[in-house]
Structure 1
């Protein structure tokens, strides 16, 4: 029997998505609407947030810039998007009985991408969002009468304590239920004190709870058409919905902006380690394909798919920084604090030294100037926040991993040539230098809301900063020479000789320019 194409499979179906307002979720919804135009409806779990109701958040999503391409081809796309009020922090996901009954009768494909991605999230919150929410999703999906696929978004770093990671769900260090039970009687202070020991050898609560969630899926989701997709570090889009699209400061995005603005000067990072970043459109396409494959081929076991780049198209952190800094030097951002330049080092001592010299001293001097001008100081606070954020990445910027891709090879064989083109997922196609340039440009356009028309003024500002730096360095050298070195007659005579030459050069330059 001939298998339906991917768009044919999704035609007439109702899809349930959690994490729809997140980075990956938005791209997933846009791709489904644009490339599977006959889809019946997409139902998204949403909660009120920051004073905005569920209806208001749905409206904001529909009007998002990510749907600009869709507006020209399918102007009524918003009619297929529906909000289901709920919250993954609540029991039973906070879904009403009537909505739960509707979902049970109408949904056939589920994408669960909602999670906390904060590396330093308190363990109790991480367990609630990344573990208990998965259990609630399993229980909900067991009520679905026509469920064909339940795709869970995990992370390639769920097993980051290994260097070679296969497409399998590894046994967790502890039974997930034991952690859930322990958190019920522990107070927050006790949990905070015990967290480092509990999650060891994992570097953070995110990777720890993601591994526990996979185990929970395998054990409690028996009988469900499950599959797991593990993306690595999800970054700006490669091609769709537009090159360089990004809407957050997570991971390399924040690093690029901070370095491009001249704020960030040093990162604890192995320049030869592989930066396993994956453009967001690739795991998005893989999610859609895995949903199709799980429903049409009905694998007998839970398959795991890696959406990573390091093994098949490696690109190091050093190369990534070099291309990014070259771009920002040629196309600088507005109102840079200093000239863009970023050093990578594996030495904690050297990194701490540069943080003190290049970050904290300028921060305190700038805040002093703010106070004298009657403004509120902010640079020290900004740098402290940036340092805390970067410290959570150290584990990943100092190591390299390898992943296997057997299940992806099987998926590839099952696809038609047309589906391979529409739902591309092979990172070997990426040309990293051009991708990084688009990535940097995307941070400018979609996060900072800057345009290339401001580049000439930004270049003039960079030249001004360069001249200030030259003057400052010259003054420092002169002062050191004058007060620390020039103590002998020979040194004083040499000093007078140099000053005479400088005076003559300046005078001749002035005379020439006035003629």
Structure 2
């Protein structure tokens, strides 16, 4: 029993979160991911006395793990931390490994070190691609959990394992409770079947296997949760289920974002004038959660699990839709208005995206507003000796829209009993430091910061270029007016000049307009 635990039991209170993490040795998978970066930044900045933080990393793009570690330390997410604790990088250590390799690809020496030292484990590594082939999704989202459980069972000082799942692991249910549901198939049976199935056969039966699930991501996440209950018995485990993770709300910087996943890529596409139509239900609730909320919850969940040692695996929902709902239609209004006030540089067209639930209208808009301009633009690139790219961009955009369609046409309800209990255990100071209640989130302000974050952190655009961006939008508007004028004149020449009926209709309309103008002139003269 540690000194803090002895003191707390004697005084009848739990240690603060910062007190608990003092001197703790932490192991994180998925550290270079979106949640992983924010989790590390928050953990070090708010618990400055935390001990060593080991991160599972694999060599990537000709970089070894030490080079990737130094690249991670230089990331903009740590700018605030860098000012407060310039030597924070001394707490970070890379461990060579890969969740897809046997035993996580960790060497015997590193494995022994982890088994002897680690006290807190955060497992957030996973594939987040919705359209991932089932074999890869199982390998990364299910088998990786088994390997992590095996490693944790050998850790001599382990106090808690927090598994980061998803609120959509059971998205085939409209009402989701804080429990682990039985999957449609036992994970081991599926794993055994994958060993003898070839890829072609697996691809054909995947829709049957996943059933009412929209994709392999949600399907394998549910299998992973069930695996925790079967093979993680005796381990101090907690599960956090975030919904659609978006840009930060408050920390480390409002609107910080480092990827195009989820709504981020759609916001950029809409701002650039590339996205004109998206299929979805504008009345459906957009369950987006800022990244700093799940990170705070993960840290607090580990603290509570370690100091109270619950007898069961507790599930914590990290969603906004049930407590602070905001619809996709409302998001569309805020985002479009913002891009017209603060446009992106070098827009393809003026921002003017809309969401429609009608499949025919969406297909029509996709053909007229997406593919036709894309082919025309690529033809222009070819004539100028440049590489065509717009058709490729639109094909990628359409795949992204397709994977999100299920989530833009459904709404869910979640329970929060465990979350409310966790909140009640926090001191007033910890509630402020490790906030995870989305009720105080003002959506219009957050979304404007989100869009500004995509401009600043994803596209590296500076606000000093705003006058030029606005001038470019005016130029695009004038081009559109000229184009519309040419189209009207062409229609007049083709239809009106060659058809007696069309000419008579034209004269009737112009006559009515003339009468209205004369009427208002006479009325105005009489008043004077």
Normalised by the length of structure 1, the TM-score is: 0.95
1:57 aligns with one of 57, 68, 83: 68
Contact 2:31–2:40 (8 Å) recurs in 1: yes
Aligned match of 1:275 = 286
Offset of 1:190 from its aligned partner?
A: 1.1
Q: Contact (CA 8 Å) 2:496, 2:506: kept in 1 or not? A: no
Q: Which residue of 2 aligns with 1:231?
A: 242
Candidates 332, 340, 351, aligned match of 1:321: 332
1:302 matched residue in structure 2: 313
Offset, 1:194: 1.2
Q: Which runs of 5+ in 1 are unaligned?
A: 502-515
Match of 1:505 in 2: none
1:195 corresponds to: 206
Equivalent residue in structure 2 for 1:124, among 107, 112, 135: 135
Gaps of 5+ in 2: 1-11, 515-528
> Is 1:70 matched with 2:78?
no
Distance in 1 between the 2:82 and 2:142 partners? 37
Q: 2-side partners of 1:404 and 1:347: how far apart? A: 32
- Mapped contact 1:486–1:492 kept (Cα < 8 A): no
- 1-structure distance, mates of 2:405, 2:382: 34
Shift of 1:413: 1.2
Q: Whole-Å Cα distance in 2 between the matches of residues 284 and 418 of structure 1?
A: 17
Establish whether residue 312 from structure 1 lines up as the match of residue 352 from structure 2. no
Distance 1:194 1:487 in 2: 58
Alignment of 1:41-52 (within 5 A): 41-52=52-63
CA-to-aligned-CA distance 1:388-411 (integer Å, 9 cap, x gap) = 111000000001001000001110
What's the offset of the Cα at 1:178? 0.6
Q: What corresponds to 1:254 in structure 2?
A: 265
Paired position in structure 1 for 2:494: 483
Whole-Å separation in 1 of the counterparts to 2:490 and 2:429:
69
2: distance between equivalents of 1:487 and 1:96?
A: 82
Choose from 429, 448, 451 the match for 1:440.
451
Match of 2:420 in 1: 409
State the secondary structure of the residue aligned to 2:119.
strand
Shift of 1:486: 2.5
Which deviates the most, 256-265 or 195-204? 195-204
1:358 aligns with 369
Shifted more, 378-387 versus 13-22: the winner is: 378-387
Distance (Å, rounded) in 1 between the aligned partners of 2:426 and 2:179: 22
- The corresponding residue for 1:509 is none
Q: Are the counterparts in 2 of residues 131 and 210 from structure 1 also a CA contact under 8 Å?
A: yes
* Number of aligned positions between the proteins: 498
Instruction: Return the alpha-carbon distance in structure 2 between the equivalents of residues 279 and 93 of structure 1.
Output: 30
What's the counterpart of residue 4 of structure 1? 15
Measured in 2, the distance between the counterparts of 1:387 and 1:34 equals 40
Residues 200 and 239 (structure 1 numbering): CA distance in 2 closer, same or farther, change over 3 Å? same
- Give the deviation of 1:182 after TM superposition: 0.4
Show the counterpart of 2:518.
none
Q: How does 1:315-354 map to 2 (within 5 A)?
A: 315-354=326-365
Q: TM-score, normalised by structure 2?
A: 0.93
Q: Which whole-Å CA distance do the structure 1 matches of 2:423 and 2:398 have between them?
A: 42
Aligned partner of 1:163 in structure 2 is 174
- Report how far residue 493 of structure 1 moved: 9.4
1:138-157 → structure 2 map (5 Å cutoff): 138-157=149-168
Deviation of residue 321 (structure 1)? 1.2
Equivalent in the alignment of 2:403: 392
Call closer, same or farther: CA 1:336–1:19 in 2, change over 3 Å: same
In 1, Cα distance between equivalents of 2:348 and 2:470: 13
Q: CA–CA distance in 2 between the matches of 1:302 and 1:441?
A: 39
Counterpart in the other structure of 2:34: 23
Partner of 2:278, secondary structure, is strand
RMSD of aligned residue pairs (Cα, Å): 1.4
Shift of residue 491, structure 1, vs aligned partner: 5.2
